[in-house]
Amino acid sequence: MLADTSLLNQTIGLGEPKTIDCFPAGAEVEIHAVSGDRQLCKRMESMGLRPGKQVKILKNRGRGILLKTENTRLALRLSPAFVLEAVYPRP
Amino acid sequence: MTTPLVATTGNITIAFAGNPNVGKTALINAMSGSKLKVGNWPGVTVEKKEAKMQHAGMQLKLIDLPGTYSLSPFTIEEQVCRDYLLVDKPALVVNVIEASNLEKSLYLTQQLMEMEIPMIIALNMWDEFESRGYRFDIDAFSQALNVPVTTTVGPTGKGTKELKELIIERAADTSLPTAFLYPGPIEQEVTKLMAEIDGKNFAKGAPLRWLALKLLEHDPYSLKKIEEIHNLDVSHYGTEHRQRLSEIYPNLDKALAQHRQQQITRLARQVVTAPEQPKADLTDLTDRILLNEWTGLPAFLGILFVVFKLTFDISTPFVDWIDGLVNGFLARWAGLGLEALSLPPLVVSLVKDGIIGGVGLVLTFVPTLMCLYLFLALLEESGYMARAAFIMDRFMYRFGLHGKAFVPLLVGFGCNVPGVYATRALESDTDRRITAAVMSFMSCGAKLPIYALFTAAFFERSQAWVIMSLYLTGIIVAITWAIILRKTRFKSDIPAFVMELPPYRFPTFKMLWASIWLKTRAFIKQAGTVIAVSMILLWSLVNLPYGAAPKDTVLGMSSRAVAPAFLPQGFGQHWEAVAAILPGFMAKEMVVGTLGVVMSVQQDNEPKADANFTEELKEQAVGFKDSAVTAGAAVIGSILPTPFQIESEKADSPLMAGVRKTFTPLSAFAFMVFNLLLISCVSVVGAMTQEFGGRYLGFVFLITTGTAYVASTLVYQIGRLLGFS
Ligand SMILES: Nc1nc2c(ncn2[C@@H]2O[C@H](COP(=O)(O)OP(=O)(O)OP(=O)(O)O)[C@@H](O)[C@H]2O)c(=O)[nH]1
Ligand SMILES: [Mg+2]
């Protein structure tokens, strides 16, 4: 698992924060920033999408994303009002 | 030690707070023997509920709060929780945490600790946590927060004894949890702000540190709440503090969030140890199939097909049985009884056809509803429903609908009534209203007999295609209206959303039954009254003046009056066609029946000459058994797909001859389109009123009736231009 991620890191470019839909399914990333509508951001943060949190991307369909963080699965629908940036964690 | 405070009162109020779906209610049920509703999805408990119990000579009042992710609430349910903790101030908070989601849960825990209420933490779902092979350092966790911690399993009640002991202990020793500290500069400003607001009226009774933090954050909910309660704008407090901090923290929100998360991560890493070899997770494995690119959609359609088909196959025999019991058996004997009392035929008919018929109609929905509720509950409790919404969202999104709207709409094809109730699964009121508004365009099963009669009379060779085109018309109209409503009346983008997919769990029989029974009872109680009253009203229309020829009843006369309005649709020349529309409003099956009556077609359902009450009662009992057998057979038969069964009328029944005389193929098609798009029946009206209120019903009634009128006119007029007749 770990070896996989670091290999991916090298190919994709380590440490560059990108919006969450840029990561492929299966990637294990760290939330970098939550921005957009303030209310919505607070909501997402309270549901566990906070900077520093490790998440695994289970499905990526562009607008619709399925994430797993700890033992929680979250289905998101992205919109301009809600931008989620993530980054590959440092090994 | 002094005597504990509570021992003298003997009465403790304990609030259970925690994230949604962590098992708060299950835990309370296990402790107190209460029967509050439990379900495997977030947001089961939506209002504050109470359970009482005795322990160690004390009376414990357990308060079940709706699940919440934070104390800066987003939804009404979440406000309930925050307001309760702030205003009612329970003696103790039990923070229920799902051990497998520690980091997520701790976000709320942090905030609860700021409320300055003694606290206990229950690590619930301990069974699931252990089976995943994780380990938890409970002592370290308890020490770090200065909060007693215990492990529990809701459904089995494991660990609740220890929890009770802790509650008694904690109520005596009221030490508070340690406060979560922020970085130095922020703490400084918080302290200053605390001094500033201390003693102020609006700060009385509220936890001071928490309030200072909210003011510093400029938390809109808290500001609004204070303004509501004290009629005081406090938004200027904290402005200068924020300003001072802005040099160090350009984005304070972010800094606070980051700091909180850091503390949470540190604590979680300290106390939770992951297994070396993570076990395969059953939910992940199942999702690999059910949410897979290739198998997900077929699985979804397959599941829906089975649910849908089983619902109607199982319930149909019972519906027929109830129908026979009420309308055949009860109505007949009541009629005979009333006649024996030599009451006027008008009264007999009112009781028999109006009242008993109306109640019977309500009851005939019950088997279908119960079956449907059973399957919906199964889908919901197992955790699949949220996934279905996720799968459908990508399609529904384009039409301005929420992914979760798919299931209610599909249910609507069987019957609009449970469809309207099924919209409850949607969180946002806007989404619910849009979904319910377009529900009527989903051609319900009861409209099928109309299509069957008219297609048999006019489109014998292409019957199936015509019926399919009707269904399709309904769907297209529904999509069009969904888009229009989203762009106009409910002007809003479909919001970004986040939805938790609960883990798959086996539903218990108790959970299923509770869900079915609650909903069915609500239906009988509320929709029942509306339907019964409307039935009596419509009965009067069809039967008064009593004994008059069909064309001279209130219905006949009014249909003759409004018939010209239907000239553009091609069936206005014949009042009989128009007269059939209104009774169709009682139940769509009645359209065909009324056509029969007003066209004075002889009916052959005369009661048997010699009647024997006990014999017939026995027959009813046997009928119930037979229904059960038929339903059982249907369950097996259902697995094999059978196409729509169209009960086609006998080729040359007098009714068909009458219909051929009254309609042309084109006007018949227009008539079908009109009935298709019309709100189905009074039962739907009852359900809509119950769910959304009379005003919204009026609105929906207008758009459906308007659409039906316009669409059928278009069909007839364009059809004529194209040379059809
Ligand atoms: N395996 C397991 N399942 C549990 C446990 N506690 C609760 N459940 C299940 O988890 C689901 C949620 O339980 P609820 O008691 O409704 O949760 P809640 O916290 O009241 O949820 P909301 O009212 O939505 O906030 C149900 O399916 C329960 O049967 C537990 O300790 N172990
Ligand atoms: Mg609950």
Name the residue at shortest CA distance from atom 21 of ligand 1.
B21
Report yes or no: B659 and B576 within 8 Å, Cβ to Cβ.
Answer: no
Ligand nearest to the CA of B29: 1
Q: Which two tokens stand for residue B163?
A: 């929890």
From residue B101, how far is each of A42, B78, B387 by CA, in Å? Answer: 19, 19, 20
Predicted confidence at residue A1, as pLDDT, reads 42
Interface check for B288 against chain A (CB to CB < 8 A): the answer is no
A71, part of any domain: yes
Contact B498 A49 (CB under 8 A): yes
Mean pLDDT of B472-493: 86
CA distances from B51 to A18, B12, B46, B518 (A): 49, 12, 15, 19
Task: Write out chain A residues lying below 8 Å of B503, CB-based.
Answer: 71, 73
Is residue B695 over pLDDT 60?
yes
For residue A83, which residues of chain B lie inside 8 Å, CB to CB?
Answer: none
Q: Domain check: are B191 and B166 in the same one?
A: no
Type of residue numbered B605:
N
Say if the Cβ atoms of A71 and B98 lie within 8 Å. Answer: yes
CA of B64 to the centre of ligand 2 (A): 7
State the pLDDT confidence band at B473, using cuts at 50, 70 and 90: very high
Interface test with A, best of B112, B128, B498 (most A CBs within 10 A): B498
Residues B94 and B203 in one domain: no
Tokens representing residue B707 in the block: 């659409």
Domain count, chain B: 3
Ranking B169-178, B272-281, B355-364, B432-441 by mean pLDDT, the lowest is B355-364
Res A63: pLDDT: 74
Measure the CA–CA gap between B451 and B428, rounded to whole angstroms: 35
pLDDT score, position B66: 87
DSSP conformational letter for B324: I
Reported as a pLDDT band with limits 50, 70 and 90, residue B717 is: very high
Q: Which residues of A touch B494 (CB under 8 A)?
A: 77
Q: Is residue B6 part of a domain?
A: no
The predicted model gives B324-353 an average pLDDT of: 82
| Rounded mean pLDDT, B569-579 | 86
Query: Which atom of ligand 1 has the smallest separation from the CA of B19?
Result: 25
List of chain B residues whose C-beta atoms are within 8 Å of the C-beta of residue A53: 103, 261, 265
pLDDT of B16 higher than 90: yes
The verdict on B253 touching A (C-beta cutoff 8 Å) is yes
Domain co-membership, B241 together with B384: no
Is there a contact between A77 and B497 if contact means CB atoms under 8 Å apart?
yes
Mean pLDDT in residue range B327-353: 82
With an 8 Å Cβ cutoff, is B395 touching chain A? no
- Six token digits for residue B713: 């006119």
- The predicted pLDDT at position B137 comes to 95
Q: Which of B127, B143, B171 is the last residue of a domain?
A: B171
> What is residue B575's predicted lDDT score, i.e. its pLDDT?
86
Q: Same domain for B55 and B161?
A: yes
DSSP chain A: -HHHHHHHHHHH-TT--EEGGGSPTT-EEEEEEEEESHHHHHHHHHTT--TT-EEEEEEEETTEEEEEETTEEEEEE-BTTEEEEEEPPP-
Q: Residue B437: CB partners within 8 Å, gap ≥ 6? A: B481, B485, B699, B700, B703
Rounded Cα distance between B31 and B709, Å, is 59
Tell me if B291 is assigned to some domain: no
What pLDDT, on the 0 to 100 scale, is given for residue B674? 94
**Domain for residue A10, yes or no?**
yes
Residue B7 has pLDDT above 60, yes or no: no
So what's the pLDDT on residue B153?
95
Chain segment B529-557, per-residue pLDDT in tens:
766 777 777 778 777 777 777 778 888 88
**Tokens representing residue B716 in the block:** 């007839």
B449 assigned to some structural domain:
yes
The tens digit of pLDDT for each residue in B255-286 reads 888 888 889 999 999 999 988 887 888 898 99
* CA atoms B267, B272, B277, B279: torsion sign: negative
Whole-number Å distance, alpha carbon B36 to ligand 2 midpoint, is 8
**pLDDT for residue B145 is more than 80:** yes
The mean pLDDT of B511-540, rounded to a whole number, is: 76
In angstroms, rounded to a whole number, what is the distance separating the alpha carbons of residues B341 and B113? 74
Candidate from B105, B505, B508, B518 with most ligand 1 atoms within 8 A of CB, to mutate: B505
Give the pLDDT of residue B493: 62
pLDDT-based confidence at B640, cuts 50/70/90?
very low
pLDDT in tens, B381-410: 898 988 888 888 888 888 888 887 887 887
Q: DSSP H helical segments within B239-356, as ranges?
A: 239-246, 252-271, 282-290, 296-323, 331-340, 345-349
- Which one is predicted more confidently, B158 or B528? B158
SS3 track for B396-428: HHHHCCCHHHHHHHHHHHHCHHHHHHHHHHCCC
Into how many domains does chain A fold?
1
Q: What percent of chain B has pLDDT over 70?
A: 91
Chain segment B66-118, per-residue pLDDT in tens: 888 888 766 666 778 888 888 888 999 999 999 899 999 999 999 899 888 99
User: Would residue B273 count as lying in a domain?
Assistant: no
- Are the beta carbons of A70 and B496 separated by less than 8 Å? no
| Predicted confidence band of residue B703 (pLDDT cuts 50, 70, 90) | very high
Minimal C-alpha gap between B486 and chain A (Å)? 17
Q: Which of B269, B277, B426, B497 would best serve as a mutation to test chain A binding (most A beta carbons within 10 A)? A: B497
Q: Which of B425, B429, B447, B446 is nearest to B437 (CA)?
A: B429
Who wins on pLDDT, B359 or A33?
A33
pLDDT of residue B9: 56
pLDDT digits (tens, 9 = 90+) for B167-178: 988 888 778 888
What are φ and ψ of residue B94, in 5° steps? -100, 110
**Contact criterion met (CB < 8 Å) for B496 and A78:** yes
pLDDT band at B641 (very low <50, low <70, confident <90, very high): very low
Answer whether residue B140 is part of any domain: yes
Q: Please tell me the least confidently modeled range out of B272-286, B313-327, B372-386, B631-645.
A: B631-645
Average pLDDT over residues B149-177: 90
Do B386 and B480 have their domain in common?
yes
At residue B268, the pLDDT reads 92
Residue scoring higher pLDDT (B160 or B603): B160
**Is there a single domain that holds both residue B82 and residue B164?**
yes
Same domain, B199 and B147: no
pLDDT band at B317; cut points 50, 70, 90: confident
Q: Which chain B residue lies closest to A66 (C-alpha atoms)?
A: B390
Would you call B70 and A44 a contact, using CB atoms and an 8 Å cutoff?
no
- B254 in contact with A, Cβ within 8 Å: yes
Considering the domain boundaries, does residue A1 fall inside one?
no
Model confidence pLDDT, tens digit, residues A28-62: 999 988 888 777 787 888 888 888 888 999 988 87
pLDDT value for B386: 84
**pLDDT score, position B611:** 63
Q: How close is the nearest chain B Cα to the Cα of A43, in Å?
A: 7
Asked whether residue A24 carries a pLDDT value surpassing 70, the answer given is yes
Q: Which chain A residue is nearest to residue B274, measuring alpha carbons? A: A70
Tell me, yes or no, whether B469 and B518 share the same domain: yes
Given pLDDT bands bounded at 50, 70 and 90, which one contains residue B495? low
Cα dihedral B262, B268, B273, B275, rounded to 10, equals -80
For residue B72, which residues of chain A lie inside 8 Å, CB to CB?
42, 46
pLDDT at position B707: 95
Q: Are B458 and B334 part of one and the same domain?
A: yes
What is the nearest CA distance from A34 to chain B, expressed in angstroms?
9
CATH of the domain at B128: 3.40.50.300
For residue B67, the ligand 1 atom closest to its alpha carbon is 25
pLDDT at B6 over 60: no
Q: What is the pLDDT of residue B56?
A: 82
Res B649 pLDDT > 50: no
**Do residue A38 and residue B253 have CB atoms under 8 angstroms apart?**
yes
Domain extent, residue A49, equals 6-87
Q: What is the rounded average pLDDT of the residues B329-345?
A: 84
CA of B152 to the centre of ligand 2 (A): 16
Is residue B235 domain-resident? yes
For B50, the 3-state DSSP assignment is strand
Contacts by residues B645-648 (CB-CB < 8 Å, ≥ 24 positions apart): B646/B448, B646/B451, B646/B452, B646/B455, B646/B463, B646/B464, B646/B467, B647/B449, B647/B452, B648/B452, B648/B456, B648/B463
A53 or B360, which is more confident? Answer: A53
Of B519 and B416, the structure prediction assigns the larger pLDDT to: B416
- Alpha-carbon distance of B676 to B646, in angstroms, equals 16
- Chain A contact residues (CB < 8 Å to B): 33-34, 36, 38-53, 58-59, 61, 63-64, 66, 68-79, 81-82
How far, in Å, is the centroid of ligand 2 from the Cα of B9?
Answer: 28
Give me ligand 2 centre to Cα B29, in Å: 10
Mean pLDDT estimate for chain B = 83
Query: Which residue does chain B place closest to A45, by CA atoms?
Result: B257
pTM, whole model, 2 decimals?
A: 0.77
Q: Indicate the pLDDT class of residue B709, thresholds 50, 70 and 90.
A: very high
Q: In the structure, which protein residues have their CB atom closer than 6 angstroms to any atom of ligand 1? A: B 20-26, 38-40, 42-45, 66-67, 124-125, 127-128, 153-155, 505
Do residue B506 and residue B629 come from a single domain? yes
Minimal Cα distance from B220: which residue of A? Answer: A39
User: What CATH number did the domain enclosing A58 receive?
Assistant: 2.30.30.90
> Is residue B257, in this structure, part of any structural domain at all?
no
pLDDT at A2 over 50: no
User: Is pLDDT at B141 greater than 80 in this prediction?
Assistant: yes
Out of A44, A52, A70, the one facing B102 most closely (by C-beta) is A70
Atom of ligand 1 nearest to the CA of B43: 24
* pLDDT score at B606: 45
> For residue A81, what are the β-bridge partners?
none
Q: What is the mean pLDDT of residues B234-240?
A: 85
Q: Which residue has the higher pLDDT, B58 or B43?
A: B58
Q: How confident is the model at residue A14 (pLDDT cuts 50, 70, 90)?
A: low
> Domain limits at B239?
184-248
Please indicate, yes or no, whether residues B167 and B188 belong to a single structural domain of this protein. Answer: no
**Inter-chain Cβ pairs, chain A and chain B, closer than 8 A:** 116
- Residue B644, pLDDT > 50, answer no
pLDDT at residue A7 in the model: 53
The residue that leads in pLDDT, B613 or B334, is B334
CA–CA separation, B465 vs B504, rounded Å? Answer: 41
**Predicted ipTM beyond 0.90:** no
Say whether pLDDT at B159 is over 70. Answer: yes
Looking at chain B, the whole-number percentage of residues with pLDDT higher than 90 is 26
For residue B158, what is the DSSP state? B
H or E stretch covering B569: none
Phi, psi of B358 (to 5 degrees): -65, -50
CB within 8 Å: B500 and A42: no
- The confidence score (pLDDT) of residue B604 equals 43
Helix (H) or strand (E) segment spanning residue B97: strand B92-98
Check whether B520 has a pLDDT greater than 70: yes
Length of chain A: 91
In A, which residues are within 8 Å of B273 by CB distance? Answer: none
Instruction: Specify whether B29 is located in the same domain as B120.
Output: yes
| Residue B267 belongs to some domain of the structure | no
